[in-house]
């Protein structure tokens, strides 16, 4: 009897230790998934503030050229060094971030409206569904960046046109997400009942279907924001986005590529800012998704 109790006692304390370990690793995991959201928001908010306060953060304007000071390495005077025209790189990167953020937010905002309207109405009206979704299929069959290049090449390289091009290529993604969330509601019996009671289509669409699409919409919008920042940078890098001399992270990188053998800072700093913007938004989106609907397939994007 005694021996047995002793034995059970040790067994118990062992297993208790194991349990504590298990619980701790669980807490860590939870904390991590929260930390994703946290890190993402901190990075994004920080970059947002930098973008907003860009003119006040810099002692040089992004266009101010000092040819004697070409391609200087980072120093106290020029934190990120200078570029091939002797412009202050810190100022250009900060203003470039401002452009990226502005493009990202505008595209997110525009596609939120266009995507929601298209998604909701095609979920409600079958005939609209056929037409709109085929158009979306057509737009999605084409690599987005090529379409954006074609559009900005035609419309001209400036910020407004980049925003227009990116909104066109991102709308189908949002429309699809909204549509599939809205259709779930539409097929529920109470919608049929509402219709029988004489509720108008727009009332059903905006009061009953729309709220159900909010969380997938917000998550997807975050990713559209991230992708827009990414594609804007690529477009500008290819010379089809924001035209120089106006700074954009993409065209700074293009200038940097030419002098990559002598000026590493022109690649590293703008690159870091692109990475941080996109990473911040992706972390934010992933964290949000874990929080809002933990059952979605994490790999799907």
Partner 1 sequence: MQKECLLEVSGLKTTFLTENGPVTVVNGVSFQVSAGETLGVVGESGCGKSVTSESILRLLNEKTTRYEGEINYKNRNLLSLTEEEMRSIRGNEISMIFQDPMTSLNPVYTIGDQIAETIMIHQKVGKKAAFAKAVEMLRLTGIPSPEKRVHEYPHELSGGMRQRVMIAIALACQPKLLVADEPTTALDVTIQTQILDLIQDLKQQLDMGVILITHDLGVVAEVCTRVVVMYLGEVVEEAGVEELFENPLHPYTQGLLQSVPQLDGDRSKKLYVIKGAVPSLTNVPKGCRFAPRCNYATDLCRQSEPELMGNRHKVRCWHADTNLQKEGELYVADGS
Partner 2 sequence: MIERGTILKIYILQRLISLIPVLLFVAVVVFFIIHLTPGDPAAVMLGADASPAEVEALRQELGLDRPIIQQFFSWFGGLFTGDLGTSIFLKAPVFELFVDHLGPTLSLSVLAQGFAMLIAIPMGIVAAKRRGTVIDQTFMVVSLLGISLPGFLLALLLSLIFAVQLGWLPAAGYRAMDTGLWQHFKYLIMPAAALGFIQASLIARMTRSSMLDVLSMNYIKTARAKGVKDIVIVYKHALRNAFIPILTVIGQTFGNLIAGTVVIESVFSIPGVGQLLVQSIISRDYAVLQGVVLLIAASYVLINLIVDLLYGVVDPRVRLSRRS
23 binds, among partner 1, partner 2, none (CB under 5 to 8 A by kind): partner 1
Instruction: For partner 2, give the closer residue by CB, 190 or 261.
Output: 261
The answer to the question of residue 149 lying near partner 2 (CB under 8 A) is yes
Q: Which of 42, 57, 117, 234 binds partner 2 (CB under 8 A)?
A: 234
Under the binding rule (CB under 8 A), the answer on residue 11 touching partner 1 is yes
Closer to partner 2 by CB, 177 or 209: give it.
177
Residue range at the interface with partner 2 (CB under 8 A); choices 24-32, 80-88, 109-117, 186-194: 24-32
Q: How far apart are CA 294 and CA 213, in angstroms?
A: 16
User: Applying CB under 8 A, which of residues 239, 243, 244, 246 lies at the interface with partner 2?
Assistant: 239
Among 6, 9, 13, 18, binds partner 1 (CB under 8 A): 18
d(CA 276, CA 138): 32
**Binding-site partner at residue 47 among partner 2, partner 1, none, CB < 5 to 8 Å by type:** none
Nearer to partner 2 among residue 81 and residue 123 (C-beta): 81
Residue 5, C-beta contacts closer than 8 angstroms, at least 6 positions apart:
none
Tokens coding 85: 């025209």
- The footprint of partner 1 on this chain (CB under 8 A) covers a number of residues equal to 7
Separation CA 238–CA 229 (nearest Å): 14
Written as one string, the DSSP assignment of 202-261 is: HHIIIIIIHHHHHHHHHHHHHHHHHHHHHHHHHHHHHTSSSPTTS--HHHHHHHHHHTTT
> Min. distance of Cβ 38 from partner 1 in angstroms?
21
- Residue 296 interacting with partner 1 (CB under 8 A): no
Burial class of residue 238 (count of CB atoms within 10 Å of its CB; 0-12, 13-18, 19+): middle
Tell which one of 24, 130, 195, 301 touches partner 2 (CB under 8 A): 301
**Residue 6 is a binding residue for partner 1 (CB under 8 A):** no
* Under rule CB under 8 A, residue 26 binds partner 1: yes
Smallest CA-to-CA distance from 165 within 117, 220, 217, 236 is with 236
> CB–CB of 44/281 below 8 Å?
yes
Q: Work out what residue 19 binds among partner 1, partner 2, none; the CB cut-off runs from 5 to 8 Å by kind.
A: partner 1
82 — phi, psi (to 5°)?
Answer: -125, 165
The yes or no reply on residue 142 touching partner 2 (CB under 8 A) is yes
**45 interacts with partner 2 by CB under 8 A:** no
Taking a C-beta distance cutoff of 8 angstroms, is the pair 234, 250 a contact? yes
Distance in angstroms (rounded) separating the CA atoms of residues 79 and 65: 16
Q: Report the run of H or E that residue 101 belongs to, with start and end.
A: helix 89-124
* Coil vs helix vs strand at 295: coil
Interface positions with partner 1 (CB under 8 A): 11, 15, 18-19, 22-23, 26
Binding site for partner 2 (CB under 8 A): 25, 29, 32, 138, 141-147, 149-151, 153-155, 226, 230, 233-234, 237-240, 253, 256-257, 260-261, 264, 267-268, 271, 274-275, 278-279, 282-283, 286, 297-301
């Amino acid at each position: 009897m005694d021996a047995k109790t002793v034995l059970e006692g040790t067994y118990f304390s062992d297993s208790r230790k194991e349990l504590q370990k298990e619980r701790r690793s669980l807490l860590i995991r939870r904390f991590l998934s929260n930390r994703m959201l946290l890190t993402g928001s901190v990075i994004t908010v920080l970059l947002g503030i930098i973008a907003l306060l860009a003119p006040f953060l810099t002692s040089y304007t992004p266009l101010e050229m000092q040819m004697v000071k070409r391609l200087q390495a980072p120093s106290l005077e020029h934190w990120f060094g200078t570029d091939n025209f002797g412009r202050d790189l810190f100022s250009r990167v900060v203003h470039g971030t401002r452009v990226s953020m502005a493009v990202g937010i505008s595209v997110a905002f525009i596609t939120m409206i266009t995507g929601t309207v298209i998604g909701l109405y095609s979920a409600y009206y079958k005939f609209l569904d056929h037409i709109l979704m085929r158009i979306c299929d057509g737009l999605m069959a084409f690599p987005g960046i090529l379409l954006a290049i074609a559009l900005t090449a035609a419309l001209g390289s400036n910020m407004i046109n980049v925003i227009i091009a990116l909104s066109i290529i991102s709308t189908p993604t949002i429309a699809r997400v909204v549509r599939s969330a809205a259709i779930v509601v539409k097929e529920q019996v109470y919608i049929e009942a509402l219709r029988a009671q004489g509720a108008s289509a727009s009332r059903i669409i905006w009061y009953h279907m729309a709220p159900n699409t909010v969380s997938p919409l917000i998550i997807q919008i975050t990713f559209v924001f991230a992708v827009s920042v990414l594609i804007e940078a690529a477009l500008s890098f290819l010379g089809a986005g924001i035209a120089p001399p106006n700074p954009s992270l993409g065209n700074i990188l293009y200038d940097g590529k030419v002098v990559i053998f002598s000026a590493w800072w022109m690649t590293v700093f703008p690159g870091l800012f692109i990475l941080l913007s996109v990473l911040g938004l992706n972390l934010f989106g992933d964290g949000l998704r874990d929080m809002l609907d933990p059952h979605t397939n994490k790999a799907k994007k």
